[in-house]
Amino acid sequence: MALAKVEEKFQLLNEAIELLQKNVECSALDALIETFENLLDDGRVHVEDGTPDEATVAKLKDLYQKIDLASLSKEEQRSVLQLCLLQAYKREKVQVNHQMTPDTIGFLLAYLIEKVGKYTAGLKLLDLTVGTGNLLSAILSTLEKSGWKELDVYGVDNDDTMLALANISAELMQSKTQLIHQDALAELQVPPADIVVADLPVGYYPLDSRAKEYQTAFAEGHSYVHYLLIEQALEQLVAGGWGVFVVPRGMFEAPEAKRLLQLIQEKGYLQGLLNLPQQLFINENSQKSILLLQKKGAQAKQAEPILLGEFPLMKNQSEFVEFMKEIDNWQAQNFA
């Protein structure tokens, strides 16, 4: 990847986003979305009620010609979008559950999917909490390089802004991802999936009446949204299908986790729990793990042993390669 070219395009994009934000008086995130939507619409500037004004439109068109997204590879376009998102996050305080999942985590999820998933054309992959779409695009990019193509891909989110970002990400990747605007805990408007992924939001789900439809709901007060989403994923998977989730580290150590573990034992198999490198996170409370579940049925069976451990940092190449070999051996032992 030509880093100089990516940096140059990012600077031009940042200039266009700032110009639009100032003239239209909108948030940095909305200006980013409109800028990319304009570029994907062959550089046509969307004007509504005379804004942006004519002088700004002329400047934007000039910048769009210099940006020329088509001159970048799909990966370079993804990198530019990521840089623009990070810049928007700096300008505005974005809640944790709305921040994009780093590519490193997407690569690791894709690696695990390759190890346990059986690839077929038309395989259905669902991101239950698609957000900005960065996790999904990182997974698809990695799988595509391994020959996984012609996938039926779905993404669900109840936030318009996040879905707009996910749509931009999908268009840059030239992915035919179908994005659905809905609460992921309502009845899902997508077909059963072979693989469900999610960087699970952490916190309480506000709709107690809907939460009561789930076994993992608490008897009193709000229930944990990540518990409910894991249960929803297990329902949505085909028999023998796989769920690969980014979850809070130490999730099963909480006293409330007993109900979740009972559900997993009833509906599926806990096949792996791998801690992500501590250095990827700001503090101890924000640390995450990757949870690997398989739904019962078909040829599914409990792995022996369960895959446990902690990923080394990728920059520690020898340690990282050795850890990946351990995963390969575990896969060969259980799912070859």
pLDDT in tens, 221-278: 999 999 999 999 999 999 999 999 999 999 999 889 999 999 999 999 999 999 999 8
Range of the domain at 231: 97-335
Beta bridge partners of 236: none
Confidence of residue 142 (pLDDT cuts 50, 70, 90): very high
What is the pTM for the complete model shown? Answer: 0.94
**Residue 13 belongs to domain with CATH number:** 1.10.150.470
Rounded CA Rg of the chain: 21
Confidence of residue 97 (pLDDT cuts 50, 70, 90): low
Of 78, 94, 110, the residue at which a domain comes to its end is 94
What per-residue confidence (pLDDT) applies to 283?
Answer: 80
Mean pLDDT for the chain? Answer: 93
Q: 128 burial class (0-12, 13-18, 19+ CB within 10 angstroms)? A: buried
Q: What is the mean pLDDT of residues 4-13?
A: 93
Counted domains in the chain: 2
Beta bridge partners of 181: 157
- Show the tokens assigned to 178: 């179908």
Confidence of residue 80 (pLDDT cuts 50, 70, 90): very high
Strand order in the sheet with 193-199: 178-181, 152-157, 124-127, 193-199, 237-248, 288-295, 268-275, 307-310
Residues 245 and 272 placed together within one structural domain of the fold: yes
Confidence of residue 96 (pLDDT cuts 50, 70, 90): low
What per-residue confidence (pLDDT) applies to 3?
Answer: 78
What per-residue confidence (pLDDT) applies to 78?
Answer: 92
Nearest to 127 by CA among 225, 175, 197: 197
Residues 81 and 102 placed together within one structural domain of the fold: no
Residues 121 and 72 placed together within one structural domain of the fold: no
- The C-alpha atoms of residue 291 and residue 277 are separated, in whole angstroms, by 14
Nearest to 165 by CA among 28, 36, 41, 39: 36
Which tens digit of pLDDT belongs to each residue from 177-232?
999 999 999 999 999 999 999 999 999 999 999 999 999 999 999 999 999 999 99
- The C-alpha atoms of residue 280 and residue 282 are separated, in whole angstroms, by 7
Strand ranges (DSSP E) for 108-166?
A: 124-127, 152-157
Residues 132 and 17 placed together within one structural domain of the fold: no
Provide, rounded to the nearest whole percent, the portion of the chain with pLDDT above 90: 82
Residues 193 and 46 placed together within one structural domain of the fold: no
Residues 177 and 243 placed together within one structural domain of the fold: yes
Beta bridge partners of 289: 247, 275
Provide, rounded to the nearest whole percent, the portion of the chain with pLDDT above 70: 98
What per-residue confidence (pLDDT) applies to 217?
Answer: 96
Instruction: Provide the 8-state DSSP code for 99.
Output: S
CA distances 45 to 16, 24, 63, 84, Å, are 11, 12, 11, 19
Residues 109 and 193 placed together within one structural domain of the fold: yes
**Residue 331 belongs to domain with CATH number:** 3.40.50.150
- The C-alpha atoms of residue 105 and residue 275 are separated, in whole angstroms, by 11
Of 94, 125, 150, the residue at which a domain comes to its end is 94
